[in-house]
Structures are given as structure tokens and as C-alpha cells.
Amino acid sequence: MAAVLEASGISKRFGGIMAVDGVSFEVREGEILGIIGPNGCGKSTLFNCILGQLQPSEGEVRLDGRVTTGMRPCDLNRLGVSRTFQLLQIFPKLSVRENLILAAQEHKGTMMSRLLGPRDAGLSVAADQMIAFFKLGSLADELAGGLSYGQQKLLDAAMAFMAGPRLVLLDEPAGGVNLTMLASLKDRLKAFHEERGATFVVIEHNMDFVMSLCTRVLVLAEGKVLAEGLPAEVRADPTVIEAYLGH
Amino acid sequence: MNARLTYVSAAIALALLVLAPLEFHRYGLYILTQWAVMTIAAIGLNLTLGYAGQVSLAQGAFVGIGAYCAAILTTHGWPLFAAGALALVLCFIIGWLLGYPALRVQHHYLAFVTLAFSTLAFLVFRNESWLTNGTEGIDGVPRPSLLGLSTTPHLRYYYLCLFMLALVTLAMLGLVRSPWGRAFIALRENPLRALSLGVDTRRYILMAFAIGSALGGLAGVLYAPLVGLVEPPAFTLTLSLNLLMMVIVGGSGYFLGPFLGALVAVLLPEWLRGLENYYLIFYTMLVMGLLIYSPTGLIGIADRLLVNRRTRAASAARAAIGATIEGP
Amino acid sequence: MANFVALLIAGLATGALYALAAVGFTLLWQTSQTINFAQGEFVMLPAFFMLAAMHAGLPFWAAILVGMALSMAILGFAFKRLLVDPMLQHGVLPLAIATMALSTFLKESVKTFYSAEASPFPSIAPDRDIHLLGVSVSWQNIAVLGVAIITVVSLQFLLNRTRTGRQMQAAAQNPTVARILGVPVERMILYTFLINGALVALTSLLISPIYLAKFSNGDTLGLAAFIAAIVGGFNQIRGAIVGGLLLGIVDNLSAAYVSTQYRGAVPLCLLVVIILFKPNGLLGRAEERTV
């Protein structure tokens, strides 16, 4: 199976602290890779290094074989990589539909064509389809700031999917969401995965979420890769259980 | 605000701006024209500062560049229109070149780079006498003729400036309502998220800066025939600071901010005539106080009041609906 | 050659003054994200405090102390409490703009309430030259360099060798962690404002005899402080010192070798060159990726 993303020897140093220490892994086409690990083990930092929010101190990232280490997030996004953030980051002053149009408009045409073209950059239909897909239908014109937390989480995921990306990285999508919404979120992620064949990487704490959704799991601890394999294998791995003692 | 109310208000405002000056004396017309010209520069700066979040201390210098373009070309027989076109292109390019290195480092560097540029521009205006006539300046800048009609009479020149202001307003409206407007909102609200959605924040910021500078140049082109004399002391850092105050006081990032801010800046010295030297002290105190209380300026205050009323109305409506549902 | 050395020393003296102003500027940025566009006016003002005190009958040395105290109280404490504290919640930008308004406010206030004319200011050094190794150096320059060196060394000592100083550094580098460790962060920030108040007063004292006390002094001094801070590297005290000295030397040399008309342009060009080729300054560390 082809590797969509390859990370080799990623390290990130903050002053004297090694947040990420020589992490290497690959993401295969069409899979849902889960990344788990105790708090503070470097998961989000790793994401940020791969996605350009941070410059890795060492290591290399390749997307479809092409070196993308240190590329700006907007350039990566245009290559087909999108992400959600741990701390919800939707645009509260824009409507739900506007948020979604924003999420995809930079992929349409050039800057000039966007200036002179239609107000919605031709994306209203696609936005409404996405709204329907995420079952947010009645909220299309609501300001995003007025939605419930769970609904905002769905919107956040929807925004990540809008531009039809190749690779989606989700940073703790289940954080702080109630059970009903969680089921809804999982259901939508699975549906998107099946219909569009996108590749996912998911950072999560919620074990059930990870185990029921992911096809493969990577375990990080203290900035290093601890274990890797099928969900059931990893769950039974003694070193993993030890690292997670109490979780 | 609903659309019809906006259109009606705009129509009324436009009518006032067109009809009221018919009764004005020469000085009143001068003040009003000055307001129109400064608003154009402020609209440009509002794009740079309010929409893209970049502090530019060079807007005064761009006004100067525009003014000198107009003065040099028209005193050599070229039409003002040519000067306008040149100023727009020149200021756009210089703006882009100025912003490019500064944006590759931290954000606030642009403020310093523009500060340095402002000072440099002044030095060039003052020293390059072969071009700018140095400290004497260029006098007798003529007002243009349009379709055979001379705009030397003050009322006619005012209408020309008002027309240009209307054009700029419409163009800016188009820009802000286009996908660019959405990108600017994203850029302002949450640049990190915007980046991850593919918004090339650097390019948008540069665009805002370049367009804003071009508008400053356009304002300068209109300024030169208004005053008639173009000299270096008019285009120092002080002008840049004044324009900045205009945008801030009006409400940075609000569409109508520049209009209000320029009005306050042009009218205040008139009202405080009696206070002579104290007017600037008073004005800067006002700016500091306003910034502490409402960094979003005068329109920001109005907006907050409106939002409060809307939110309270909405909750009241929801409560009313709830009451009826829970009724017997 | 002797001329060149004299110029160099004069340049170092001027540079030392720029450095002092730049250090205060950098300190404020480091500890509280305050970009003080009024730093030039902060350097201009204390001289007028001292002049007013002398008009009221105080001897020079007492006027200096009064000026210093007023400077620390008004430009340090009051500045922080009245302007910075209420504004920091709104972000870096509004505060920066407020300091721009403040700069005009201070400038106009001095112009209106004191004088629009330049006032002579007494020097702490005798108005003579001494001859060292064939070079003629003014006592003025020696005094400036002396005071500046003592100030910087004391400041470094304070920051690196005392408990308070180390707490100040911790508060600057990571306020959240510092708070958890029990560092009184708010008080540390106040100290930096007070230190800046003292630094600008010292700079004012040293620079006013040369340029005369005038309301418009802030323009050039402010610009010099910014350029020095950026050229040296915005994040380091050491950078501000190096930047200031370099700027002073460049400034004085260009006064001698470049046309007077464009003399002011040389520091500006230096700024542009640095931003193009070494954007984090000569000594600056690379910051994390910016937007």
C-alpha cells in the first residue's frame, strides 16, 4: 500500500526539553491511523511539526514522496492536507455556510479570479451538501458562535473535509463532546472515509473512539514511538498498558 | 442592519453630500473636500490596518508620493488623470516591495519599516530639488478639466473629489464582499486557523498593504490641486500618525470607520479653534482614552450597543416563545 | 587617522546613548509585549523635569535626582498603571498605537507648556578635551561612555546575579511557568517599567547637553532606539547594546563622510539591510515560525 505521508526522525527541541524524539512512521493510503499516548507525550507537537505550524529541529516529512518539511500550512493545505485543532477554531462571526465556503475557497482559481468572481466562489452548493452530510441542515445561516460545542466540533470537522483533501489530521476530535454527538461524529467520519476514500490520522485520548474507528494505532510516550500495530494488538501490549497505567 | 435600511441611509447621506455644499462658502467647501480626500487615504489605511491587522506608518508618505506625482506631471502639462494612474501603480509597487521583507519576520516589523520609509520619503522630497523643487515645493498645481469643464471653481472640484470617493467606496465594498473579504476576516480573527485552511495570509496582508498604499497615493493626487502647493513639511510622519488616528478613532476594521474618523480629524481643529495649541493635546488624550475604553473606535461603541440590543431582543424573543410553549 | 579615532570614540559615545534607550525599549517588549513608540519622547522629557526643578531653585545634582524620581514615577509607574495595564487585554497592536498617541501628547505638551525653543542644558562633564595618545577626546564623551558602561554593567549584574533579576528574566521568558514557581510576575513587570524610567532619565541627562533640550528631540531619538533594538536583535539586551553602539558609530561616520542632507538616511538603510539579510538582528535568535 502506498504511503501518503512519511515522517522520518522527527525531533523537536524546546530549550532543553525534547518534546518529540526521533519519531518515524508512515501513513498508508486509505487507512485511519490513530495516535495515542499519555498526556504530554508529544502528540500535538508532532502534528504541528508535520503540518508546518512548527519547524522540526530534525527530521523529514514527505507527502506522496515529496519533501514537505517546514512548508507553510497554507501550502500544505493546497497540496491536499487539512487538519482540525485541539482547541476548537471555527470562525464565530461567520455563518456556518460562510465557514465552509471559507474552508474551500482558497482552492478555487487564483486570487484575482476570486476577487472578481462570485461572492461565494461557486461553493454554496458544495457547502450545503457538506451541511447536509453532517446533519447541520437547519443551522446553515446561523452564526457559528451560536452553535453548541458539539455542533461546533462537527463544523470543525466539516471544514477540514470541505476542500476534498487527501489527508486529514484530526487533533482530539472527541474532546469534550457528549455521547450522542460523539456517536454522530464517529458515524460521519466513517461515512466520509468510505465515500471519499480519504486517509485519516487521529490523535485521541478516548480509547473506545480510537479502537472502534482506527485501522491501525501508533503509541507515543515521552516523545518516542512506543508501539505500533492493529488496535487489538496495541491494546494488549504490556508496555503500552504500563505507559498508560491509571488511564 | 437590514439591506433596505442601509440603501436608504446611503442615499440620504449621498444626497446631503451633494446638495448641502451648494450653500457653503469657500472655506466650508475646502474643509469638506479635505474630508473627502483624507477619507480616501483613511479607507486605504483601514484596509491595511483594520482588515489585515498591519500597522502602517507610511500612509502619509504615499499621500506625498501621489501629491508630487500630480504636482510634477500637471505643471508639465500632463492631465491629472495620468498622474492618478501613475500614482496608483507606483504606490502599489512600492507598497508591495516595502511589505515583502518586513512580513517575512515578525508582524510588528512592518510598523518600523514603514516608519523608516516615511522618514526616508521625507528626506527625498526635501533633498531631490531637481525633481521636487526641494524645500520650496511646487506651487500653482492646476485643477483638471473634465470634458471641457474646468474644476477650478471650488464647488466643482469638490464634486470631483466626492465622485472619486464614491468610486473608491464602491470598489472597497466589492472587495470586502468578495471571497477576499472572507479571507480577511479569517486572517484577522484567527490567522493560525486561516493558514491551515489554505489562506495564504502573507499574500493577503501584502495585497492589503499594497492596495492601501495605492489609495494613499490616489488621495495625494487629489490633495495637490486642492491645496495648490505641494511641499515636504506636509508629508512627514505627522501625517501618517494623523491618518492612523483617523482610522482608529473611527473604528478600525469597520467599513464606515474611515468616514467618521476623517470627519472627526478634519472638524476637531475647527471646533477647538479657541483652544489653539491645546487641540492636539486634547485630541491625543481622546485617542488614548478611546483606545482604552473601546479599541474598536467610535463605530465599535455603536456596534456593541446594537449587538447588546439585538442579543437582548433575541433572548427576550426566545423567552417569550418558551413561555408560550410551556403554557397550560 | 587621529580624526578617525576621535570620530570612532564620539560614535561610541553617541551609540552608548542609543543603546541605553534601546535597552529600555527591548526590556519593555520582552517582559510585557509593550512596543513603546513614545520611547523617544520618554528620553526627551526628563530633561525638562530637571530644568523645571532648577528653575524652582534646586541645584543641579538635586534636580537630577528629582528628574529621575519623576521619570520613574510618571514614565514608569503611571505609564504602566494608566495606559499599559488597561490596554494589554486588548492586545499588542492597540497598545502600540496608544503609545503613538502618547508620543504626540508628550511632544505637544512640552511644546505648549514649556517652550517651543531649544533650551540649553548643563553637562555633568567639564567642557574640555583631554589628550590621550595623540587623540583629542572631549570629557563629555568620556562622561557619557563612563556612565553608560556603569549603567549597563549594573543592569547586567542586576539581571544575572541577583534573585530579583533572575525572577525578572523568568517572568519575561515564560510568565505562566514563572507564576507557578511563585515569581511575583506583576511586580517584576513593574520593575522593568521603573528601570526603563531610570534608563530614559539617564539618557536624557547625558544627551541634552549635546542636542539641547527641545520638544522635538524625541523624533530622532525614538527612531534611533527602534533601529538599534532591531539591528541588534529585538529579543536580547545584549543585542540592543550592540545595535546602539553600531548605530552610533555609523551615524557619526556618515556625518563626516556622507552629505548632510542624507545623513539621516544611513541608519534607515542599515535597518532595511538588516531586515533583508539578518531579520532577527545581528544577535537575535530565530523566532518560531510566524504567520
State how far the Cα of A192 lies from the Cα of C60, in Å rounded to an integer. 80
Pairing of strands A167-171, A81-83: parallel
- φ/ψ of A117, rounded to 5, equals -85, -165
Residue A164 amino acid letter = G
Residues of C in contact with B53 (CB under 8 A): 93
Please report which confidence band the pLDDT of residue B239 belongs to, taking 50, 70 and 90 as the band edges. Answer: very high
Sequence length of chain B is 328
Indicate the residue of B175, B179, B199 with minimum beta-carbon distance to A74. Answer: B199
Indicate the residue of B112, B237, B291 with minimum beta-carbon distance to C226. Answer: B112
Give the DSSP per-residue string, B70-105. HHHHHTTT--HHHHHHHHHHHHHHHHHHHHHHHHTS
Choosing among B189, B195, B196, which should be mutated to test the A contact, i.e. which has the most A CBs within 10 A?
B196
Total CB pairs under 8 A between chain A and C:
7
> Does the CB of B178 have a partner CB in chain A at under 8 Å?
yes
Neighbours of chain B (3+ CB pairs under 8 A): A, C
Distant-in-sequence, close-in-space partners of B181: CB < 8 Å, separation ≥ 6: B51, B175
Domain A3-80+164-243: give its CATH superfamily.
Answer: P-loop containing nucleotide triphosphate hydrolases (3.40.50.300)
Three-state secondary structure string covering B179-229: HHHHHHHHHHHCHHHHHHCCCCHHHHHHHHHHHHHHHHHHHHHHHHHHHCC
Mean pLDDT score of chain B, rounded to an integer? 87
- pLDDT tens, residue by residue, C251-268: 888 887 777 778 778 888
Whether residues C102 and B108 touch (CB distance < 8 A) is answered with: no
Residue with cell 483617523: B246
CA distance A84 to chain C (A): 18
Has residue C6 got a pLDDT over 50? yes
Choosing among B197, B201, B211, which should be mutated to test the A contact, i.e. which has the most A CBs within 10 A?
B197
How many other CB atoms are found less than 10 A from the CB of residue A73? 26
Residues of A with CB under 8 A from a CB of C: 52-55, 72
> Does the CB of A102 have a partner CB in chain B at under 8 Å?
yes
- Do residues B103 and B206 make contact, with C-beta atoms less than 8 angstroms apart? yes
Range from A150-154, B3-7, B28-32, B167-171 carrying the lowest mean pLDDT: B3-7
User: What average pLDDT does the segment C224-244 reach?
Assistant: 85
C142 CB-contact burial (10 Å; exposed 0-12 / middle 13-18 / buried 19+): middle
Has residue B162 got a pLDDT over 90? yes
**CATH code for residues C2-277:** 1.10.3470
Whether residues B179 and A117 touch (CB distance < 8 A) is answered with: yes
The CA distances from residue C249 to A185, B90, C210, C220, C244, in Å, are 64, 35, 16, 16, 9
- pLDDT tens, residue by residue, A23-33: 888 888 888 99
The more confident residue out of B98 and C72 is C72
- Do residues A34 and A202 make contact, with C-beta atoms less than 8 angstroms apart? yes
Give the DSSP per-residue string, C136-159. EEEHHHHHHHHHHHHHHHHHHHHH
Whether residues B116 and C287 touch (CB distance < 8 A) is answered with: no
Distant-in-sequence, close-in-space partners of C256: CB < 8 Å, separation ≥ 6: C7
Has residue B273 got a pLDDT over 90? no
Distant-in-sequence, close-in-space partners of C277: CB < 8 Å, separation ≥ 6: none
Whole-structure pTM value: 0.86
Has residue B40 got a pLDDT over 80? yes
Whether residues C288 and A52 touch (CB distance < 8 A) is answered with: no
Whether residues B55 and C93 touch (CB distance < 8 A) is answered with: yes
Q: Find the closest chain C residue to A73 by CA distance.
A: C291
Q: Which helix (H) or strand (E) holds A201?
A: strand A199-203
Has residue C283 got a pLDDT over 80? no
Residues of B in contact with A82 (CB under 8 A): 196-197
CA distance A55 to chain B (A): 15
CA distance C285 to chain A (A): 12
Whether residues C101 and B284 touch (CB distance < 8 A) is answered with: yes
Torsion from C-alpha of A59, A63, A67, A69, nearest 10 degrees? -50
Indicate the residue of B119, B280, B284 with minimum beta-carbon distance to C268. Answer: B119
Whether residues B196 and A74 touch (CB distance < 8 A) is answered with: yes
The more confident residue out of B218 and B195 is B218
The more confident residue out of B211 and C141 is B211
State how far the Cα of B180 lies from the Cα of A110, in Å rounded to an integer. 11
The CA distances from residue C284 to C159, C257, C278, in Å, are 19, 30, 9
| pLDDT for C289 | 37
- Asked, for residue B16, whether it belongs to a domain, the answer is no
Q: How far from chain centre, in Å, is Cα A54?
A: 16
| pLDDT for C107 | 92
Q: Find the closest chain B residue to A52 by CA distance.
A: B196
Instruction: At C117, list the grid cell.
Output: 525653543
Whether residues A111 and B203 touch (CB distance < 8 A) is answered with: yes
Residues of A in contact with B185 (CB under 8 A): 91, 93-94
State how far the Cα of B300 lies from the Cα of B307, in Å rounded to an integer. 10
State how far the Cα of B51 lies from the Cα of B177, in Å rounded to an integer. 12
| pLDDT for A246 | 47
Residues of C in contact with B241 (CB under 8 A): 100, 104
DSSP A54: S
| pLDDT for B118 | 92
Indicate the residue of C91, C93, C226 with minimum beta-carbon distance to B115. Answer: C226
How many other CB atoms are found less than 10 A from the CB of residue B143? 19
Has residue B321 got a pLDDT over 70? no
- φ/ψ of C264, rounded to 5, equals -70, -15
| pLDDT for B33 | 93
Has residue C285 got a pLDDT over 70? no
- Do residues B270 and B27 make contact, with C-beta atoms less than 8 angstroms apart? no
The residue range of the domain holding B258 is 24-295
| pLDDT for B44 | 96
Half-sphere CA count of B285, side-chain side, radius 13 A: 7
The more confident residue out of B127 and B151 is B127
Indicate the residue of B102, B108, B288 with minimum beta-carbon distance to C96. Answer: B108
**Above pLDDT 70, what percent of chain B?**
93
Whether residues A111 and B196 touch (CB distance < 8 A) is answered with: no
**Above pLDDT 90, what percent of chain C?**
29
Has residue B325 got a pLDDT over 70? no
Whether residues C97 and B116 touch (CB distance < 8 A) is answered with: no
Residues of B in contact with A121 (CB under 8 A): 179
- pLDDT tens, residue by residue, A106-156: 888 888 888 888 888 788 888 888 888 888 888 888 888 888 888 888 888
Q: How many domains does chain B have?
A: 1
- Structural domain boundaries of chain C? 2-277
CA distance B311 to chain A (A): 11
DSSP C267: H
- Structural domain boundaries of chain A? 3-80+164-243
Please report which confidence band the pLDDT of residue C67 belongs to, taking 50, 70 and 90 as the band edges. Answer: very high
Has residue B232 got a pLDDT over 90? yes
Please report which confidence band the pLDDT of residue C291 belongs to, taking 50, 70 and 90 as the band edges. Answer: very low
> Does the CB of B189 have a partner CB in chain A at under 8 Å?
yes
Mean pLDDT score of chain C, rounded to an integer? 85
Indicate the residue of A91, A117, A120 with minimum beta-carbon distance to B189. Answer: A91
Instruction: At B115, list the grid cell.
Output: 516608519
Whether residues C98 and B202 touch (CB distance < 8 A) is answered with: no
- Do residues B160 and B25 make contact, with C-beta atoms less than 8 angstroms apart? no
- Asked, for residue B166, whether it belongs to a domain, the answer is yes
- Do residues A36 and A207 make contact, with C-beta atoms less than 8 angstroms apart? yes
Has residue C194 got a pLDDT over 80? yes
SS3 label, residue A83: strand
State how far the Cα of C202 lies from the Cα of C288, in Å rounded to an integer. 35
SS3 label, residue C212: coil
Whether residues B198 and A78 touch (CB distance < 8 A) is answered with: yes
- Asked, for residue B308, whether it belongs to a domain, the answer is no
Please report which confidence band the pLDDT of residue C1 belongs to, taking 50, 70 and 90 as the band edges. Answer: low
- pLDDT tens, residue by residue, B117-138: 999 999 999 988 888 888 888 8
Q: How far from chain centre, in Å, is Cα B72?
A: 24
| pLDDT for C288 | 43
Has residue B199 got a pLDDT over 70? yes
Has residue B42 got a pLDDT over 90? yes
SS3 label, residue B316: helix
- pLDDT tens, residue by residue, C159-171: 888 888 888 888 8
Residues of A in contact with B303 (CB under 8 A): none
Whether residues C272 and B113 touch (CB distance < 8 A) is answered with: yes
| pLDDT for C198 | 94
| pLDDT for C290 | 36
Q: What Rg, from alpha-carbon coordinates, does chain C have?
A: 19
Instruction: At C59, list the grid cell.
Output: 541645584
- Asked, for residue B320, whether it belongs to a domain, the answer is no
Q: How far apart are the first and last CA of chain B?
A: 37
Half-sphere CA count of B18, side-chain side, radius 13 A: 8
User: What average pLDDT does the segment C196-222 reach?
Assistant: 90
Q: Which of residues 5-64 of C touch B (CB under 8 A)?
A: 35
| pLDDT for B84 | 92
Return the closest-CA partner of residue A98 out of A180, A27, A44, A158. Answer: A158
Please report which confidence band the pLDDT of residue A230 belongs to, taking 50, 70 and 90 as the band edges. Answer: confident
Q: Which helix (H) or strand (E) holds A11?
A: strand A3-14
The more confident residue out of A101 and C276 is A101
Has residue C34 got a pLDDT over 80? yes
| pLDDT for B171 | 94
The more confident residue out of B293 and B45 is B45
- Asked, for residue B252, whether it belongs to a domain, the answer is yes
Has residue B175 got a pLDDT over 90? yes
